[in-house]
């Protein structure tokens, strides 16, 4: 079996007359954690939608787990910026929703809730949870089908800094325990370098690859490691270069 979980080559993606992605090509290997970083409007979230099968209107070729992207594939999990829990279901029912409402009694639900620290909240409703707890429940739901690939669209942007750090560490632990490959969209360069094996930078107008930074530090990582600052600086340099190039283009 191939070690490549995602092979993406998008020639073009448009929204009506606007070209939003042009000539974006990358691969993601089994066991990697990869972040997509770039300015708003560069197509980061659109790439996740394409990989998940939510968006099929593009020119190019995409293979996920060896096949064309499939909507609702059990091999691909998706965690959004907001938890998107169904308010009329309990936490357990939300986590096991892939099997319908009765999925809440599946043994794996209790195991996942314990893993994310919500073992005492199975019968609670989403309105009773804090923002961080709700996102933990969303992570558990994303893992319920035991996906090989987990897509995350700015999953921690709505929580406070301390909760974000705890959720980041939880995500690293889960990735190791479940041998799950992660593709993460984030605007947080510190988060990208702390979590990822590779950080792919995108430029905008239209969205295209501008570079890649490898972070060869063994996980779990120490946030105080000065090497992380060096990799953050490399990512910033790529993004600053793109901004400078765009400003020059406007001036010419």
Q: Could you report the per-residue pLDDT of 126-140, keeping only the tens digit for each?
A: 999 999 999 999 999
Cα separations (Å) of 1 from 4, 29, 46, 66?
Answer: 9, 12, 28, 9
Distance in angstroms (rounded) separating the CA atoms of residues 140 and 129: 14
Cα separations (Å) of 229 from 39, 123, 164, 172, 225?
Answer: 20, 42, 19, 19, 8
Q: What is the mean pLDDT of the chain?
A: 92
Distance in angstroms (rounded) separating the CA atoms of residues 190 and 156: 13
Average pLDDT over residues 107-132: 96
* Residue 199: count of CB within 10 angstroms of its CB: 27
Average pLDDT over residues 155-169: 92
Distance in angstroms (rounded) separating the CA atoms of residues 185 and 35: 6
Per-residue confidence (pLDDT) for residue 250, from 0 to 100: 38
Distance in angstroms (rounded) separating the CA atoms of residues 168 and 154: 11
Task: Please determine, for residue 214, whether its predicted confidence score (pLDDT) is greater than 80.
Answer: yes
Distance in angstroms (rounded) separating the CA atoms of residues 26 and 8: 5
Binned at pLDDT 50, 70 and 90, residue 146 comes out as very high
Backbone angles phi, psi at 207, to 5 degrees: -65, 130
Per-residue confidence (pLDDT) for residue 246, from 0 to 100: 46
> Which residues, 6+ apart, have CB-to-CB distance to 105 below 8 Å?
92, 96
Per-residue confidence (pLDDT) for residue 240, from 0 to 100: 86
Strand segments (E) across 47-89:
59-64, 76-79
Among candidate residues 185, 200, 153, the one with its CA nearest the CA of residue 25: 200
Per-residue confidence (pLDDT) for residue 127, from 0 to 100: 96
Strand segments (E) across 42-162:
59-64, 76-79, 149-153
**pTM of this structure:** 0.92
Where are the domains positioned within the chain? 4-251
CATH class of 4-251: alpha beta
């Amino acid at each position: 079996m191939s070690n490549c979980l995602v092979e993406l080559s998008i020639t073009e993606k448009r929204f009506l007359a606007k070209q939003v992605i042009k000539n974006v090509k990358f691969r993601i290997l089994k066991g990697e954690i990869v972040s997509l970083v770039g300015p708003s409007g560069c197509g980061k979230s659109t790439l996740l939608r394409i990989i998940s099968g939510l968006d099929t209107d593009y020119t190019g070729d995409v293979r996920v787990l060896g096949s064309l992207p499939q909507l609702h594939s059990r091999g691909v999990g998706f965690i959004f910026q907001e938890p998107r829990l169904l308010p009329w279901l309990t936490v357990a029912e939300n986590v096991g929703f892939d099997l319908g409402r009765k999925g809440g009694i599946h043994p794996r639900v209790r195991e996942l809730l314990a893993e994310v620290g919500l073992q005492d909240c199975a019968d609670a409703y989403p309105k009773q949870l804090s923002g961080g707890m709700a996102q933990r429940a969303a992570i558990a739901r994303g893992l319920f089908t035991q996906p090989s690939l987990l897509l995350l669209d700015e999953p921690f942007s709505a929580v406070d800094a301390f909760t974000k750090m705890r959720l980041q560490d939880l995500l690293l632990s889960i990735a190791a325990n479940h041998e799950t490959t992660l593709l993460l969209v984030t605007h947080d360069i510190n988060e990208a370098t702390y979590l990822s094996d590779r950080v792919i930078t995108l430029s905008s107008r239209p969205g295209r690859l501008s570079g890649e930074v490898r972070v060869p530090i063994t996980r779990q990582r120490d946030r105080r490691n000065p090497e992380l600052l060096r990799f953050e600086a490399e990512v910033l340099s790529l993004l600053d270069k793109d901004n400078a190039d765009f400003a020059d283009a406007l001036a010419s």
